[in-house]
Amino acid sequence: MKVIICGAGQVGWQIARHLSGEKNDVTVVDNNAELVARATDSLDVQGITGFASYPDVLERAGARDADMIIAATHSDEVNMVTCQVAHSVFNIPRKVARLRSQSYLTAIYSDLYRRDHMPIDVVISPEREVAEAALRRLDAPAAFDIQSFLGGRAQLIGITIEEDCPVVFTPLRQLTDLFSTLRAIVVGVRRDGRLFAPDAGDQLFSGDEIYLFCHTDDLDRTMEIFGKTNRKQERVVLVGGGNVGLAVARTLENRTERIRAKVIERDRTIAEHAADALERTIVLHGDGLDAELLSEAGVERADAILAVTDDDKTNILASVRAKASGCKMAICLVNDPTMVSLMATLDIDAYINPRATTVSSILRHIRHGRVREVYSIGDAEAEVIEAEVLSTSPIAGQAIRDINFPDGVLVGAVMKGEKIVRPTGATRIEEGDVITIFSMADDVPEVERLLQVSIDFF
């Protein structure tokens, strides 16, 4: 498939990395020659320097016979015009645009994106995706990562194994025997900085970061078995009152359970806007790194601090200062993936990577076949794919033990009709089943072959 990616920043580069790695014909367009050179030097892609919304630039990028265009520049307006030009001049079948401004995303204006108006097939909102990720972290405070699958009936959770974990040193095979009714399975382990799919004989050690699938009804029991408890969040301090912080605060206000939230915002205009938009939430104007202001916000009594400014260092330092003051949990937004390794050392409980969140969202909308969900783990190290099994799939009608999955692939959960099944070697995969698969990045093409799907437009 031929894909044009407009914008060679963090998100555009990661999407190009995914698609080019799966043998698609990818062209990257950006007006920054250095970013284009970085993409062409490190990836198997072509590069064009120029403004993505210019018809002559898209022509040079091969828009005449492109199957898809993904507009992910830093400008909403450029992304929108790019999709319009792609449709009106080049008739590109599928158009994806990343839009940041909440005004463009308001439901009452959704008619704007009809094909006879502004022809955008899929609109991606990084701020909305990140806000939802932040709320999931707040709902599962003992996890550093959480994502819903199978219509919310299964969860992928990431937790760190502590020394007092009841199942430390226990082989995974034995866990299955000990907790035979528990609908949970470990699908990924990060040890000494390396992520891998574990074998049945592998043990878990203190310091391991593990990813496991579990039935939503078994979430609390699963966390307890792995030495974690979910605390009820009643007081939350938000550092950053922009689109992300405002979206989180609004959601917390609308929840039935009473959650007291306070917002700290350095920019007076943004702070005033947030104060006008929120009803019960107190908004404080000032620097989130100011110890006195954090104290005024009651951070020492807070159940969680959520730092979501557009500055990584502010988010990290505000989180560290809050934890030192007595805050029970710290979650911070981190754009730079090289910072992630510092989280445990700094006693930060969870982080949100906007790039991974946005990449997952875009991948979910561009996979063909019956792929229903895609979630990117870490720095594009692995993917979790949810897909319906087609009759043409090589795995249809086979027991899991007989399927020739690569070593870096594990089945996390299977949904048969409305029933969620914990997969075993004897579980037979039938046409119409919905399965979730953990796959290391290098093995994704083979997984797609087994599912009889490919990167393509619908």
In the chain, how long is the greatest CA-to-CA distance?
64
Instruction: Name residue, tokens 């792609």.
Output: 86
Q: What is the pLDDT of residue 264?
A: 94
Q: Which of 130-144, 175-189, 307-321 has the highest mean pLDDT?
A: 307-321
Between CA 195 and CA 36 the distance in angstroms is 29
Give the count of beta carbons closer than 10 Å to the beta carbon of residue 201: 9
The more confidently predicted of residues 123 and 21 is: 123
Same fold for the pair 2-124 and 235-352? yes
pLDDT digits (tens, 9 = 90+) for 231-266: 777 899 999 998 889 888 988 888 777 788 899 999
Bridge partners for 46 per DSSP: 27
Assigned superfamily of 2-124:
NAD(P)-binding Rossmann-like Domain (3.40.50.720)
CATH classification of 357-451, choosing from 3.90.1150.10, 3.30.70.1450, 3.20.20.140, 2.40.30.10? 3.30.70.1450
Average pLDDT value for residue range 348-360: 79
Average pLDDT value for residue range 425-432: 91
Average pLDDT value for residue range 298-318: 91
> What are the domain boundaries of the chain?
2-124, 235-352, 357-451
The 3-class SS string of the chain reads CEEEEECCCHHHHHHHHHHHHCCCEEEEEECCHHHHHHHHHHCCCEEEECCCCCHHHHHHCCHHHCCEEEECCCCHHHHHHHHHHHHHCCCCCEEEEECCCHHHHCHHHHHHHCCCCCCCCEEECHHHHHHHHHHHHHHCCCCCEEEEEHHHCEEEEEEECCCCCCCCCCEHHHHHHHCCCCCEEEEEEEECCEEECCCCCCECCCCCEEEEEEEHHHHHHHHHHCCCCCCCCCEEEEECCCHHHHHHHHHHHHCCCCCEEEEEECCHHHHHHHHHHCCCCEEEECCCCCHHHHHHCCHHHCCEEEECCCCHHHHHHHHHHHHHHCCCCEEEECCCHHHHHHCCCCCCCEEECHHHHHHHHHHHHHECCCEEEEEEECCCCEEEEEEECCCCCCCCCEEHHHCCCCCCEEEEEEEECCEEECCCCCCEECCCCEEEEEEEHHHHHHHHHHHCCCECCC
pTM for the complete prediction?
A: 0.70
Average pLDDT value for residue range 303-320: 91
Assigned superfamily of 235-352:
NAD(P)-binding Rossmann-like Domain (3.40.50.720)
pLDDT digits (tens, 9 = 90+) for 61-83: 999 999 999 999 989 899 999 99
